Amino acid sequence: MPHAENASRASTTQKRTRIQKEKEEAILDAALNVFSTYGFRGATIDQIASLSNLSKPNVLYYFNSKEAIHRQLIDRILEDWLEPLLAIDPNGNPVWELRAYIRQKLELARDYPRESRLFANEILQGAPHIAEELQDLKTLVDEKSVIIRDWAEAGKIKAVDPRHLFFAIWSTTQHYADFDAQIRVVLGLPEDGEDHFEEAARFLDMLFVDGLVVAQTETAAS
Amino acid sequence: MPHAENASRASTTQKRTRIQKEKEEAILDAALNVFSTYGFRGATIDQIASLSNLSKPNVLYYFNSKEAIHRQLIDRILEDWLEPLLAIDPNGNPVWELRAYIRQKLELARDYPRESRLFANEILQGAPHIAEELQDLKTLVDEKSVIIRDWAEAGKIKAVDPRHLFFAIWSTTQHYADFDAQIRVVLGLPEDGEDHFEEAARFLDMLFVDGLVVAQTETAAS
DNA sequence: CAAAATTTTGACCGTGCGGTCAAGGTTACA
DNA sequence: TGTAACCTTGACCGCACGGTCAAAATTTTG
């Protein structure tokens, strides 16, 4: 998951030293663990400090506050999180595009579950820290909904409410990250095995592609 | 949402006075708001006390600890939450049964969003307080999965992995409660309007019933 | 190597946390 | 109406919280 290198240290300096890069990275990684597990309010700087093998004042030397850490985490993650949606191509084959989108979202859930949980926690709490980011999301969804609608009107996919289709794709894929604890129990899996993502991929492919998206006959080209 | 009347007061008395009933109810209602928003760790007794118009020691007079409140909340809610799954009838019409299940789960999300978020929070945090309850869930899911499998083998519905089907139903329906903040923004809704549940119901009906569950020809009877 | 800049830390501050306790107020009931 | 059971509360405890600060340790740079 690549991202822009950009930190807000105590000072407003732009150039980052070797130590700054390392420590900030360690802090953000630890903070991702803590925030994604306990939510903003339930997380503590002490936890983050101890997880990143730093003293509390040292953590606060690199980030001015708990909120600053959280904010930077969100800024970093968001673009990568939205990227697959952005990639939906109006000129592509509708079924392929949607299938690729679902697959990419599922891969994100598999490879970046902490990031998924961070957002889940944030939205559960009423999204107090990401109001404007959600507005950007709405804009993007509106844009992409037009594409889906056009595909439907052209008879290339079934007529569905695009927004609820997105909700369904988001919820089913992110569920594998956010509700991992429940899924492991229900599936009877140990805490390390992770093979159920292949099954999930097959199931979602059937649910969305076989079932809902395509009409009786495959008509699309391109 | 009916539930068993059962409280664990400071004393082990069985009979509950009028005041006990009232206050305990008020505390649990306030606690549901707080826990569902902030999770166990992020919630505080002071918040619960102030929301229920009681002093903090007074709250702790009725419940011995923060954990005791949380535990009782979970005990209360769980059976109602699982009830629709329990109600799936092996002798019913498969499509009707699944449609009814989905509808009921969606109605729970609409009418009891706080309860849904309480569980979401708990599972996000790794389900530390509901380990045994999850085991009960597994048992129940295993049981009902056999039914789905039988229906599939009898050709009454498409062949799917029952467990992943359940995951998909849970995630899509609960999403409307858990991610409400995001949904309202994406849909451009105010904080009070709630009409999108009708749309959601129609969409999910199409996704699961039209699309996936029925085979090409409706064959089932009973 | 030495000065300058950066990094690290122990001690500390005010507040909020979960929880206790004894004393006073209220209610139910004979 | 008396009194026993129940309810409520202010004051308090010890600890954890987010955050500050000055001084010390370290690294970078001329």
Interval A100-112: pLDDT, tens: 999 999 999 999 9
For the residues B3-7, what does the mean pLDDT come to?
34
Q: 């006959």: which residue's tokens? A: A217
For the residues B138-154, what does the mean pLDDT come to?
96
Instruction: Tell whether the model's pLDDT for residue B3 goes beyond 90.
Output: no
Main-chain phi, psi angles of B7, to 5 degrees: -125, 155
Separation CA B16–CA A183 (nearest Å) = 39
For the residues B16-39, what does the mean pLDDT come to?
94
Q: What is the pLDDT of residues A139-173, one digit of tens each?
A: 999 999 999 999 999 988 989 999 999 999 999 99
CB contact under 8 A, A37 and B125: yes
For residue A199, give the nearest of B128, B168, B92 by alpha carbon: B168
Instruction: Tell whether the model's pLDDT for residue A76 goes beyond 50.
Output: yes
Does residue B148 reach within 7 angstroms of strand D, measured from its CB?
A: no
Does residue A43 reach within 7 angstroms of strand D, measured from its CB?
A: yes
Contact of B220 with B94, CB cutoff 8 Å: yes
Q: What share of chain B in percent tops pLDDT 70? A: 87
| Mean of the per-residue pLDDT values of chain B | 89
Q: What is the pLDDT of residues B94-119, one digit of tens each?
A: 999 999 999 999 999 999 999 999 99
Asked if the C-beta of A19 comes within 8 angstroms of chain B's C-beta atoms, the answer is no
Q: A12 to chain B nearest CA, in Å?
A: 32
| Mean of the per-residue pLDDT values of chain A | 89
DSSP state of A10: S
DSSP state of B217: S
Contact of B104 with B63, CB cutoff 8 Å: no
Q: What is the pLDDT of residues B160-173, one digit of tens each?
A: 999 999 999 999 99
How confident is the model at residue A220, as a pLDDT?
42
pLDDT band at B17 (very low <50, low <70, confident <90, very high): confident
A41 CA to C15 C1' distance (Å)? 16
Separation CA A32–CA B141 (nearest Å) = 32
For the residues A72-95, what does the mean pLDDT come to?
95
pLDDT band at B19 (very low <50, low <70, confident <90, very high): confident
Instruction: Tell whether the model's pLDDT for residue B52 goes beyond 60.
Output: yes
Lowest mean pLDDT across A63-77, A204-218, B98-112, B190-204 = A204-218
Asked if the C-beta of A185 comes within 8 angstroms of chain B's C-beta atoms, the answer is yes
CB contact under 8 A, B120 and A125: no
For CA atoms B73, B74, B79, B84, give the dihedral sign. Answer: positive
pLDDT band at A19 (very low <50, low <70, confident <90, very high): confident
How confident is the model at residue A7, as a pLDDT?
35
pLDDT band at A4 (very low <50, low <70, confident <90, very high): very low
How confident is the model at residue A86, as a pLDDT?
97
**Residues in A 125-184 with any Cβ partner in B closer than 8 A:** 125-127, 134-135, 137-138, 141, 158, 160-161, 163-168, 170-172, 174-176, 178-179, 181-183
Ramachandran region of residue A188, left (φ > 0), alpha (ψ -120 to 50) or beta?
left
CB contact under 8 A, B124 and A158: no
Report the residue from B120, B185, B203 with minimal CB separation from A124.
Answer: B120
- Measured from Cα to the C1' atom, the residue closest to C17 is B44
Instruction: Tell whether the model's pLDDT for residue A46 goes beyond 90.
Output: yes
> What residues have CB less than 8 Å from A5, skipping those under 6 apart?
A16, A21
For the residues A28-35, what does the mean pLDDT come to?
98
